[in-house]
Amino acid sequence: MRTLRGIPVSPGFVIGRVFVIEDQETLRVQKKGIDPADVPAEVERFDFARKASISELDELHKSAADEMGKEAAKIFLFHIGVLNDPSVLNPIKSKITDDLVNAEYAISKTFTNIAKKFANHPDSTFQSKVDDLRDLAHRLLKELDTNQKVSIANLEEGTVIVSRDLTPSQTAGFDRTKVAAFVTALGGPTSHTAIVAGALNLPAVVGVKDILPAINDGERIIVDGEKGLVILDPDDETIEQYHQSQIRARQVSLSLHEYAKLPSITADGVPIQLMGNIEFPEEIEHIEQNGGSGVGLYRTEFLYLTRTSKPSEEDHYQAYAECVRLLDGKPLTIRTIDLGADKYTQEQEENPERNPYLGLRSIRYCLQNQEIFRTQLRAILRASAHGPIKVMFPLITNISEYRTGKYFVREEMEELDEQGIAYDPDIEIGMMVEVPAAALMAGSFAREVDFFSVGTNDLVQYTLAVDRTNERVASLYTPIHPAVLKLIRDIARAGRRNEIPVSCCGQSAADPAFAALLIGLGVRTISATGSSIPMLKKTIRGLTVSRCERIAKKAISFDSEAEAASYVRSRLRKLVPEVFDGRPVD
Ligand code: PEP
Ligand code: MG
């Protein structure tokens, strides 16, 4: 038995079996340990695949030479050359022989290493061959007995996916009936992969540095999404303890359920609107079961991330109309696509940016890809004819971005008028405040926008200069930081002065301590992961606004984030012990 530590990003306990996805950037194959006695057979499998690939490539070379000419056909000679090159063959064979791993894994690992070297080579001739190497590796893998390749599509129930990293779209594509949890070696606390895990109710631990060398497929594993622990090859006693933890967690969730039906109101009678964040329309049912009063953030970019082709206007419209139908009169805030950073489309993946969080993401991407943006806006407007919808622009940094976005909305309205298509002419158009510049200029923005929604996931990363997806700096990612709190206070103040609503939809809003601070800072609407709503309601009902205000004022006055966080948690532990007992102390 061995216990590894990581960052807990989605709660729950799972006892399952490992499925390793090695290096998702390139080839997805299963890593299997082999018996020393099976080494010759495994090497033979590889040789068989290599020879079959060479004869295929030979055929391709001949037909390409006829159809496209000798020069163009030369590429296949390069492929054949690689498959005969000892500097490629030897590492594959020695991985099988010395590391006792299956041929698929040895091929994938070797080709990934060579592709990386080519990609980083100063000579562009090498760089241009990276895709050829990937092609070759795929060809070899195809030639190996396909039954040996366990596809992610035919996993067994209770599978725990273990990978170096996962993209949000990979995570969103997991078969929920089979995948019970996941663990990654990389990743930070509010990466979108982590957020999707929460949305799918999948316990997850990220940033488990040493996980990959330590495990093999099929091994038993416990994932503790509360404490961020991963237990490999657990003994019977530990398994029993975790069975008990699972039972207790189910009881707590059942006992919290009574809160779902109670009003969200502070002990001194101030209503706090509690809404849910969604990535997919199907999550609305979960929000409603947990007592949410609508959707405060719909991350619509997942329409792009879960399919290979661009969604059409109709695809957008169907998704939004479905949300409106499910919400049955409750409000829906649709955030326009927030692609970029860790949410890449195929096209963006092929042209990576050096610093994607400071690059062409969110509203910037939309304003440079107007067709995509206008298609979405039309669909939102059409859906607004059926129920209460608000539009929200992400990552607004300067006022001209907001104005241009709004101008496009108006233009699309005119088009719809001409075509006699119904929409809500009074649709509210708001913005996320998730960039420090926007927070500092909140007074100016508040005179023009219809509402603010504070996005702490990004606001924290940009204010503290901490990449939200990087496990190496995860301990510096601290939302209860006086600098962050001051910005939120100023945003809320600007909202009040200009009589526009201010909500918060970042992940930290799901933390009862942070939610209490938000109330103290003047925020009256919170939008969070569905499963966090009952606990938030319990917290809100146990606190008065004036108490929250005093706590927030004091927290802001500290010189350090450590003092602020420890003060807030210890105060709240006293005030609402039933919520905070048993929670980790920062
Ligand atoms: C945020 O930044 O807080 C937010 C809600 O947006 P996202 O997590 O999608 O970047
Ligand atoms: Mg954001």
User: Could you tell me the distance, in angstroms and rounded to a whole number, from the CA of residue 499 to the centre of ligand 2?
Assistant: 24
Please give the pLDDT value at position 149.
41
Ligand nearest to the CA of 189: 1
Ligand nearest to the CA of 396: 2
Residues with CB under 6 A from ligand 1: 195, 297, 299, 338, 434, 455-458, 505-506
Please give the pLDDT value at position 153.
59
Helix%, strand%, coil% for the chain, nearest 5: 55, 15, 30
Condensed to tens digits (0 to 9), the pLDDT of residues 469-478 reads 999 999 999 9
Classify domain 257-271+451-586 by CATH number: 3.20.20.60
Average pLDDT for 358-365: 96
**Whose CA is closest to atom 8 on ligand 1?**
457
Separation CA 412–CA 336 (nearest Å): 14
pLDDT of 583 > 70? The answer is no
Atom number in ligand 1 closest to CA 455: 3
**CATH class of the region 273-433:** alpha beta
User: Could you tell me the distance, in angstroms and rounded to a whole number, from the CA of residue 411 to the centre of ligand 1?
Assistant: 27
Would you state the torsion angle of the CA atoms of residues 395, 401, 402, 404, taken in this order, to the nearest 10 degrees?
-140
- The structural domains of the chain, with segments of one domain joined by +, span 2-19+155-248, 36-143, 257-271+451-586, 273-433
Please give the pLDDT value at position 407.
98
Long-range contacts of 557-565 (CB under 8 A, 24+ apart): 557/482, 558/482, 559/482, 560/482, 561/478, 561/480, 561/481, 561/482, 562/586, 564/480, 564/481, 564/482, 564/485, 565/478, 565/480, 565/513
pLDDT band at 57 (very low <50, low <70, confident <90, very high): confident
Kindly list the distances between the CA atom of residue 329 and the CA atoms of 183, 312, 388, in Å, as whole numbers in the listed order.
38, 26, 7
Sequential DSSP letters for 150-165: --GGGPPTTEEEEES-
Condensed to tens digits (0 to 9), the pLDDT of residues 216-271 reads 888 999 999 999 999 999 999 999 999 999 999 888 888 888 899 999 999 999 99
Which of 17-26, 104-113, 176-185, 299-308 tops mean pLDDT? 176-185
Atom number in ligand 1 closest to CA 458: 2
Backbone φ and ψ for 278, nearest 5 degrees, come out as: -130, 155
The answer to whether 433 and 454 are in contact (CB under 8 A) is yes
* CB neighbours of residue 305 within 10 Å: 23
pLDDT of 516 > 90? The answer is yes
Atom number in ligand 1 closest to CA 277: 5
What protein residues have CB closer than 5 angstroms to ion ligand 2?
434, 455, 458
Sequential DSSP letters for 2-19: EEEE-EEEE--EEEEEEE
**Whose CA is closest to atom 9 on ligand 1?**
299
Our measurement of the distance from residue 261's CA atom to the centroid of its chain's CA atoms, rounded to an integer in Å, reads 29
**Whose CA is closest to atom 4 on ligand 1?**
455
Pocket test of ligand 1: the residue of 280, 297, 434, 511 to mutate, having most ligand atoms within 8 Å of its CB, is 434
257-271+451-586 has the same fold as 2-19+155-248: no
205-228 in b/e burial notation, b at 16+ Cβ within 10 A? bbbbeebbeebebbbebbbbbbeb
Location of structure tokens 């189910």: 250
H helical segments located in 389-507: 399-418, 436-440, 442-446, 456-464, 482-497
Average pLDDT for 331-355: 85
User: Could you tell me the distance, in angstroms and rounded to a whole number, from the CA of residue 455 to the centre of ligand 2?
Assistant: 5
Kindly list the distances between the CA atom of residue 62 and the CA atoms of 57, 59, 75, in Å, as whole numbers in the listed order.
9, 5, 12
Backbone φ and ψ for 297, nearest 5 degrees, come out as: -155, 115
Our measurement of the distance from residue 517's CA atom to the centroid of its chain's CA atoms, rounded to an integer in Å, reads 25
Return the minimum-mean-pLDDT range out of 57-61, 149-153, 208-212: 149-153
User: Could you tell me the distance, in angstroms and rounded to a whole number, from the CA of residue 456 to the centre of ligand 1?
Assistant: 7
Return the minimum-mean-pLDDT range out of 62-66, 214-218, 305-309, 395-399: 305-309
Catalytic residue numbers, as ranges: 192, 505
If one compares 272 and 61, the residue with the highest pLDDT of the two is 272
Please give the pLDDT value at position 145.
57
Average pLDDT, the chain: 91
Check if CATH label 1.10.274.10 holds for domain 36-143: yes
DSSP state of 205: E
Condensed to tens digits (0 to 9), the pLDDT of residues 426-457 reads 999 999 999 999 999 999 999 999 999 999 99
Residue 341 Rama label (left phi>0; alpha psi -120 to 50; beta): left
Classify domain 2-19+155-248 by CATH number: 3.50.30.10
Please give the pLDDT value at position 23.
55
How many residues does the structure list for the chain?
586
Separation CA 568–CA 574 (nearest Å): 10
If one compares 488 and 33, the residue with the highest pLDDT of the two is 488
Average pLDDT for 27-43: 83
Hey, what are 415's tokens?
């088009």
Condensed to tens digits (0 to 9), the pLDDT of residues 116-159 reads 888 888 887 787 788 788 778 888 887 875 444 445 656 889 99
User: Could you tell me the distance, in angstroms and rounded to a whole number, from the CA of residue 394 to the centre of ligand 2?
Assistant: 7
pLDDT of 353 > 60? The answer is yes
Condensed to tens digits (0 to 9), the pLDDT of residues 383-431 reads 999 999 999 999 999 999 999 999 999 999 999 999 999 999 999 999 9
Separation CA 408–CA 427 (nearest Å): 13
Residue 20 Rama label (left phi>0; alpha psi -120 to 50; beta): beta
pLDDT of 170 > 80? The answer is no
Our measurement of the distance from residue 546's CA atom to the centroid of its chain's CA atoms, rounded to an integer in Å, reads 35
* CB neighbours of residue 475 within 10 Å: 10
Please give the pLDDT value at position 346.
60
Backbone φ and ψ for 217, nearest 5 degrees, come out as: -55, 145
pLDDT of 584 > 60? The answer is no
Separation CA 311–CA 375 (nearest Å): 9
User: Could you tell me the distance, in angstroms and rounded to a whole number, from the CA of residue 192 to the centre of ligand 2?
Assistant: 9
Backbone φ and ψ for 559, nearest 5 degrees, come out as: -85, -25
Please give the helix or strand (H or E) that residue 432 lies within, else none: strand 428-433
- Please write down the HEC assignment for all residues of 415-430: HHHHCCCCCCCCCEEE
pLDDT of 327 > 80? The answer is yes
Would you state the torsion angle of the CA atoms of residues 190, 192, 198, 203, taken in this order, to the nearest 10 degrees?
-80
Please give the pLDDT value at position 555.
98
Separation CA 536–CA 532 (nearest Å): 6
Atom number in ligand 1 closest to CA 338: 9
Backbone φ and ψ for 180, nearest 5 degrees, come out as: -105, -20
Total-model pTM: 0.78
pLDDT of 514 > 70? The answer is yes
DSSP helix/strand/coil, 231: strand
Please give the helix or strand (H or E) that residue 182 lies within, else none: strand 179-184
Location of structure tokens 């206007």: 313
Nearest alpha-carbon partner for 80 in 90, 72, 88, 91: 88
Atom number in ligand 1 closest to CA 297: 5
Average pLDDT for 548-566: 97
DSSP state of 560: S
